[in-house]
Amino acid sequence: PEPMHTHTLSGLNPRQQEAVTGLGKQLVLAGPGSGKTRVITEKILHLIRDAHARPDEVLALTFSEKAAREMQARIDRAGDLTAGCTVQTFHSFCFALLKDHPLESGLNLRNGLISRTNQIVWGQRTIDAFGFEAIEVGNNAAGVIESVMDGISSLRNELIAPVDLEAYLGTRPDDDLEACRLGDLLSVYRAYEAYKRDERLIDFDDMIHEAVALLERHPIVRDRLRAQYPYILVDEFQDTNYAQLALVKSLCNGHLCVVGDDDQTIYRFRGAYFGNVKDFTETYPDRSLTVLNQNYRNSGTILALAGELIDHTPDRPAKHLRTGNPAGEPVVVAECETEAAEAVYVADEIRRLLETTFSPRQEGAPRRYRCSDIAVLCRQRAQGQKVYRQLVNDGIPAEFVGEMEAFRFPAARDLIAALRVVDDPLNAGIPINRLLRRAGVSELTVQQINREARASADPETDTDGVYEVLLRHSDDDPAVREVADRLARFIEMKATLPVPDLVYTLMMESGGLYYAAIRGGAARERRVLDWLYRLATEYADLTREPTIADFLVYLDQVGELSVEMDEAPVEDAVRIMTIHQSKGTEFPVVFLLDLSEGRFPVRHRAKAFTVPRDLARSMVPEEDERELSLQEERRLCYVAMTRAEERLYLTRAVMYGQRKTAAKPSLFLTELDYQKNPLVRLVTVPAPQTVADGVVVGDQEQARQRLQQEAIRAVAEMRLSTAVQRLADLEKCRLLAAGADPGSFDPASFFSVPA
């Protein structure tokens, strides 16, 4: 082979090379860490370098933005050579396609995008009208709306239109309960479609459907695309849904390489399904199949333990995934007495890892972990919160990936305060106070303004008077004047500026916001502001007559939902994320939380609506929903475990909540026989001893040391109130150790300077 050729393929094993150099229709199936994603990127390089494909002839489709970004970064390392090849998510590819073909798609650039959040908001505003108390989902209002929208989404992911559903229902007997419920769903489905048509909106599912429909209706466009992309590659094939598969099949006219792992299907409830591979094989009987079985990611121990878990899947063919990596450390299972103990254990262990120098994995220099080498994974978002708080408290840099704490950020609260004032200046005492304080106006002045307002308020006119008093006072103090002038200007702009522009101006000109965005934590604050701006544009797209008042209501609704913010991690921080978000990634150290019954696997909740089997287009396996759901949970656990390269910790609490309800170990721990498994090191962590107000764990001495460290760190970082608290806690510890009552602690004498 030419030298360049060998260069491209160096370091790949023979099967990977086969997959990289192969042409035609290719299916690559392989377990985690076996280099599937690597095959895709190497293949792109190979196609361009050695097979003389032009970069713009290559189309790589991924599942998430994050995966697309990562793949693009890997390819970019090859330099200019690959510039111009298309690496996109299914959604962004389709969105661009629709935008480029306004005539054929019947959609134009005015079409706004309706996100998942907006869908739910629409649901909140609309679904009541359909009398859905009929649904017994044992759920709150928000849950009902989500299940209705999920029901619609799963129909659409199977490309089932309202007319299809109607025709199906026509064949059902009148007393079919399921059919009645689907009838209710059909009416919402129709209303939703009509709403989108009237308001010229499309949602995430539409992007794929409309693109598929466009290619079907306009063979010219389809053939042009087919000619443009002779090389198509798809990562994470196992989570591709019916509509996405239809798109790929429609685009493909040349070479198509898809890679996936059936053991990692984790989006079944999003319309993804097991039968993809079968469908692919039936469509392309001449496809080649490559199975990779060499794992490069995990330690021998981690891979073996994860394998033991997934082997519990019924009817699963045996797979022989091996690794040349050393066995490494045993997997730690930490049984913590309470959730607080679990959080403290994880934080302490992370600190220990960060402070220790370890001998190298293979040959090489001794190594130390950085924060970004460590991930904390949880089954559900809320479970990560306790560890996040603990890490922040301990001064360990941590980032909650996709965290929707946006509204807690000062920048967001300042913006909302300013919007409240602009919306209704005469009744905005509280937000005005906030803005004054943030602008550095003294508490004395703030109180004075409020006192005066209370004195002058006229109960007849229903205003709190603060804004008028503010204007009167603006000559006394330059800071007050600045706030007053700015607010007056914003209020004036309200009449002429559209909502998103007003939001933008507020962001740019508000002293507090600007201050927040350019100072510490800048990256996150910036992202919060970007996100809020995007919400404003989305809101304006969604609404016929956008107003500030209505936008504030909209923000409230958004705030109640757990929405994800787009993510672009920057700092060196411990990453806390859900297992779903961790898909495709790898970290030297992984903590997986809450392996207790009821938490993980999460309790099965029957879906309110399922696509009737006769109507489903994809090949849905004939199985009980509860069993399927359990298998999905097990795959999730498998995905989580196989993210870890060197060290894996599985943690759980023995008792949960204030009332200390005992929880059994997770089914998955039991399946792993964790108490006797030679691959596992079991540790038990006692509950924090609350000898003082601070969180204190373990025995007295440990508690003392922990408090001392925290106090010293707090002083070093100028977090003085924390420092004072920790010193006080230390003193209480001392009292306790001396046999005295910690309640007798007297701050006044403790902090007084001896004469």
Which two tokens mark 77?
A: 């390392």
Closest CA to 70 of 582, 634, 662: 582
Which two tokens mark 447?
A: 């109180």
Q: Does 37 bind ligand ATP (CB under 6 A)?
A: yes
For residues 178 and 154, what is the distance between their CA atoms, to the nearest angstrom? 16
601 contacts 667 by C-beta, under 8 angstroms: yes
Helix (H) or strand (E) holding 256, with range, is: strand 255-260
Amino acid sitting at position 216: E
Widest pairwise Cα distance in the chain: 94
Cβ nearer to ligand ATP, comparing 184 with 235: 235
Residue 754 CA to its chain's centroid (Å)? 54
Out of ligand ATP, Mg ion, none, what residue 33 binds, judged by CB under 5 to 8 A for its kind, is ligand ATP
Which two tokens mark 101?
A: 């073909």
Which two tokens mark 157?
A: 């992911």
342 contacts 683 by C-beta, under 8 angstroms: no
Cα 233 to Cα 59, 283, 577, 618, distances in angstroms: 6, 16, 27, 21
Contact track, ligand ATP, 552-591, x by CB under 6 A: --------------------------------x-x-----
Amino acid sitting at position 571: E
Which residue of 9, 15, 17, 35 would you call a contact of ligand ATP, by CB under 6 A? 35
Provide, rounded to whole angstroms, the least separation between the CB of residue 569 and ligand ATP.
17
Which residue of 9, 12, 428, 466 would you call a contact of ligand ATP, by CB under 6 A? 12
Residue 402 CA to its chain's centroid (Å)? 4
Cβ nearer to Mg ion, comparing 293 with 700: 293
Cβ nearer to Mg ion, comparing 262 with 671: 262
Q: Is residue 32 a known part of a binding site?
A: yes
Which two tokens mark 533?
A: 């701006």
Which residues, other chains included, contact 351 with Cβ-Cβ below 8 Å and sequence gap of 6+? 394, 396
Out of ligand ATP, Mg ion, none, what residue 379 binds, judged by CB under 5 to 8 A for its kind, is none
Which residue of 8, 9, 16, 399 would you call a contact of ligand ATP, by CB under 6 A? 16
Cβ nearer to ligand ATP, comparing 270 with 681: 270
Which residue of 297, 413, 634, 732 would you call a contact of ligand ATP, by CB under 6 A? 297
Which residue of 15, 25, 36, 209 would you call a contact of ligand ATP, by CB under 6 A? 36
For residues 341 and 86, what is the distance between their CA atoms, to the nearest angstrom? 47
Out of ligand ATP, Mg ion, none, what residue 115 binds, judged by CB under 5 to 8 A for its kind, is none
Residue 271 is given by DSSP the state T
Helix axis angle for 443-456 and 466-473, nearest 10°, is: 120
Segment interacting with ligand ATP, rule: CB under 6 A, options 35-43, 160-168, 226-234, 611-619: 35-43
Out of Mg ion, ligand ATP, none, what residue 13 binds, judged by CB under 5 to 8 A for its kind, is ligand ATP
Provide, rounded to whole angstroms, the least separation between the CB of residue 123 and ligand ATP.
34
Segment interacting with Mg ion, rule: CB under 5 A, options 77-85, 565-573, 578-586, 709-717: 578-586
Cβ nearer to ligand ATP, comparing 12 with 159: 12
361 contacts 326 by C-beta, under 8 angstroms: yes
Cβ nearer to Mg ion, comparing 30 with 159: 30
Q: Is residue 30 a known part of a binding site?
A: yes
Provide, rounded to whole angstroms, the least separation between the CB of residue 584 and Mg ion.
4
Cβ burial, residue 426 (10 Å; 0-12/13-18/19+) = middle
Task: Give the number of residues in contact with Mg ion, rule: CB under 5 A.
Answer: 3
Which residues, other chains included, contact 512 with Cβ-Cβ below 8 Å and sequence gap of 6+? 410, 411, 414, 435, 438, 439
Provide, rounded to whole angstroms, the least separation between the CB of residue 585 and ligand ATP.
8
DSSP SS3 for 489? helix
Give strand ranges (E) for 676-741.
Answer: 680-685
Task: Give the number of residues in contact with ligand ATP, rule: CB under 6 A.
Answer: 18
- At 589, phi and psi to the nearest 5? -125, 130
Cβ nearer to ligand ATP, comparing 265 with 474: 265
Q: Is residue 123 a known part of a binding site?
A: no
Segment interacting with ligand ATP, rule: CB under 6 A, options 27-35, 173-181, 265-273, 718-726: 27-35
Provide, rounded to whole angstroms, the least separation between the CB of residue 325 and ligand ATP.
10
Out of Mg ion, ligand ATP, none, what residue 91 binds, judged by CB under 5 to 8 A for its kind, is none
32 contacts 297 by C-beta, under 8 angstroms: yes
CA quadruple 500, 501, 506, 509: dihedral sign: positive
Amino acid sitting at position 231: Y
Q: Is residue 33 a known part of a binding site?
A: yes
Which residue of 8, 37, 510, 725 would you call a contact of Mg ion, by CB under 5 A? 37
| Long-range pairs for 173-182: beta carbons < 8 A, 24 or more residues apart | 178/612, 180/134, 181/134, 181/135, 181/608, 181/609, 182/609, 182/612
Contact set for ligand ATP, span 582-641 (CB under 6 A) = 584, 586
Residue 687 CA to its chain's centroid (Å)? 30
Closest CA to 691 of 680, 700, 682: 700
347 contacts 394 by C-beta, under 8 angstroms: yes
Contact set for ligand ATP, span 237-296 (CB under 6 A) = 261, 264, 296
For residues 342 and 338, what is the distance between their CA atoms, to the nearest angstrom? 6
Out of Mg ion, ligand ATP, none, what residue 32 binds, judged by CB under 5 to 8 A for its kind, is ligand ATP
Cβ nearer to ligand ATP, comparing 146 with 261: 261
Cβ nearer to ligand ATP, comparing 132 with 638: 638
Segment interacting with ligand ATP, rule: CB under 6 A, options 12-20, 49-57, 114-122, 425-433: 12-20
Only one residue has tokens 């007798």, namely: 744
Q: Which residue is nearest to ligand ATP (CB)?
A: 35
Provide, rounded to whole angstroms, the least separation between the CB of residue 232 and Mg ion.
17
Segment interacting with ligand ATP, rule: CB under 6 A, options 32-40, 333-341, 475-483, 604-612: 32-40
Residue 382 CA to its chain's centroid (Å)? 12
Segment interacting with Mg ion, rule: CB under 5 A, options 46-54, 155-163, 356-364, 584-592: 584-592
Out of Mg ion, ligand ATP, none, what residue 105 binds, judged by CB under 5 to 8 A for its kind, is none
Out of ligand ATP, Mg ion, none, what residue 8 binds, judged by CB under 5 to 8 A for its kind, is none
Segment interacting with ligand ATP, rule: CB under 6 A, options 33-41, 222-230, 301-309, 476-484: 33-41
Q: Does 584 bind Mg ion (CB under 5 A)?
A: yes
- At 27, phi and psi to the nearest 5? -120, 125
Out of ligand ATP, Mg ion, none, what residue 209 binds, judged by CB under 5 to 8 A for its kind, is none
Out of ligand ATP, Mg ion, none, what residue 665 binds, judged by CB under 5 to 8 A for its kind, is none
291 contacts 13 by C-beta, under 8 angstroms: no
Q: Does 41 bind Mg ion (CB under 5 A)?
A: no
For residues 635 and 638, what is the distance between their CA atoms, to the nearest angstrom? 5
Which two tokens mark 103?
A: 């005539």
Q: Please give the radius of gyration of the chain, using alpha carbons only, rounded to the nearest integer.
A: 29
Q: Is residue 31 a known part of a binding site?
A: yes
Which two tokens mark 219?
A: 């063979």
Contact set for Mg ion, span 593-632 (CB under 5 A) = none
Cβ nearer to ligand ATP, comparing 112 with 584: 584
Q: Is residue 37 a known part of a binding site?
A: yes
- At 613, phi and psi to the nearest 5? -60, -40
Helices within 50-115 (DSSP H only): 65-76, 90-100, 102-105
Out of Mg ion, ligand ATP, none, what residue 290 binds, judged by CB under 5 to 8 A for its kind, is none
Provide, rounded to whole angstroms, the least separation between the CB of residue 120 and ligand ATP.
30
Which residue of 29, 33, 155, 722 would you call a contact of ligand ATP, by CB under 6 A? 33
Q: Which residues bind Mg ion (CB under 5 A)?
A: 36-37, 584
Binding residues for ligand ATP, per CB under 6 A? 11-13, 16, 30, 32-38, 261, 264, 296-297, 584, 586
Annotated binding residues for ATP: 30-37
Annotated binding site: 30-37
